[in-house]
Amino acid sequence: MSGLKILVPWYAYPPHSRERVGGLSVSLWEITHGLKRRGLEVEILVPGKGEDEFESVDGIRVIRSALGRDVLDGRAISPPQVKKLVETYDWVISFNNYGSGALFASRVAVEKVVRYIHTVAIDRPISSYVSLESGLFEYGRMFVLRRREIRAEKRLKDARTLCVSGFLEERMIHFRLTERNLTRVIPNGVDTENFRPSPTEKVQDILFVGRFQKVKGLDILLSSLKHLFLSELRKYKVGVVGPFSPDQRAVLMMNVPEELREMIEFYGTVPHEDMPHFFNSSRLVVVPSRYETFGLPALEGIACGVPVVASNVGGLPEIVNAEVGLLFEAGDSAALAKAISKGMSEEVADAAMKNGSTMAKRFDWRVVCAQLAGALST
């Protein structure tokens, strides 16, 4: 297994910053380091100018070059460069079809390419791309983006394909973006050494982690809180983690009763290494997504022994069950309100604390990277 040499093209490395942390960037960071720890030689190709520049980022070799720019822009790679890629690397890993245009146009042998897929554009409605306050211009821009992503999905359909959930694998096969004999499920993971239960004071009842996108469903959560207040006079303290601007926060608060507004706190973007504290200081994690292929915040909450209430959609049922939380019908704020009420019970909390760590160990990054290394060695 050791001795394999892997190239991972991407926009930048590290793939995340203090201001921008997403599930895909966390996955790319953890996987590249996990493969390196298992003895594989991993290099990252990022856009640059002119002569190749090399640097080491946390022990990972990063190549900044004009080739990286060509891959980003989708330009065909010259035959000598293709030959060098094929001779130098055992695998080129394309995260979410990144670089598919250049790889396809350059006729890089698909036998050398592995796709690691986190979402499938052709399955996503255009509404899953837009924000909670979208207009015609945004819809138009997202229509173009979605069409470009669909083209990228089709280019590498003959390459080996790894999917983060069984749901995603079935959708890829359904849309004929791959064949069953070319696919394998390698899930997202969690660092169980950092994401684990700790005796932290509960400073909020509910934690939401996401963005100002309609697909993430924060508006559904806020509607459910309004329902609980108006019907039962219940008020819950809510923590929101994610990049919400002042204007976006104002839009969200417009439909929230004044009595509840002081109960909602926006923390902004939080460094990933600080997230265990936010999970452990919450009584409940709510993932109200309208569409979700996996749901990393759900897994991280489970690993911390915190009950998770999640939409019964996409890949979420593969990680959320009665042992660690509750599922509700996606988009139904009344159903979410009932699930929140039940999720606050000691019975649900005790079950999540008892079962969460054990379930999360199946998704530990060391386990996931061992599965990925095994897939690459066969």
123 in a structural domain: no
As a whole number of angstroms, the distance between CA 341 and CA 228 comes to 9
Which pLDDT does position 247 carry in this prediction?
A: 94
Do 175 and 285 belong together in one domain? Answer: no
Do 351 and 369 belong together in one domain? Answer: no
Bridge partners, residue 288, by sequence: none
Range of the domain at 372: 5-118+156-189+365-376
The enclosing domain of 285 has a CATH number of 3.40.50.2000
Which pLDDT does position 265 carry in this prediction?
A: 96
Do 9 and 26 belong together in one domain? Answer: yes
Which pLDDT does position 19 carry in this prediction?
A: 53
Which pLDDT does position 2 carry in this prediction?
A: 58
Please list the rounded mean pLDDT of every run of 10 residues in the chain (378 residues): 85 75 86 94 93 91 93 88 89 94 83 93 94 93 94 92 97 96 96 94 96 95 94 93 94 92 94 94 97 96 98 96 96 96 96 95 96 92
138 in a structural domain: no
Which pLDDT does position 321 carry in this prediction?
A: 95
As a whole number of angstroms, the distance between CA 350 and CA 200 comes to 16
Do 178 and 249 belong together in one domain? Answer: no
Do 270 and 316 belong together in one domain? Answer: yes
Do 341 and 371 belong together in one domain? Answer: no
Which pLDDT does position 233 carry in this prediction?
A: 87
Which pLDDT does position 31 carry in this prediction?
A: 95
Which pLDDT does position 169 carry in this prediction?
A: 97
Which pLDDT does position 21 carry in this prediction?
A: 64
Residue 303's SS3 state is: helix
Which pLDDT does position 361 carry in this prediction?
A: 96
Between CA 146 and CA 156, with CA 151 as vertex, the angle to 5 degrees is 130
Which pLDDT does position 85 carry in this prediction?
A: 87
The answer to whether 76 touches 106, Cβ cutoff 8 Å, is yes
Which pLDDT does position 322 carry in this prediction?
A: 95
Closest CA to 40 of 339, 377, 304: 377
Do 185 and 39 belong together in one domain? Answer: yes
The answer to whether 47 touches 41, Cβ cutoff 8 Å, is no
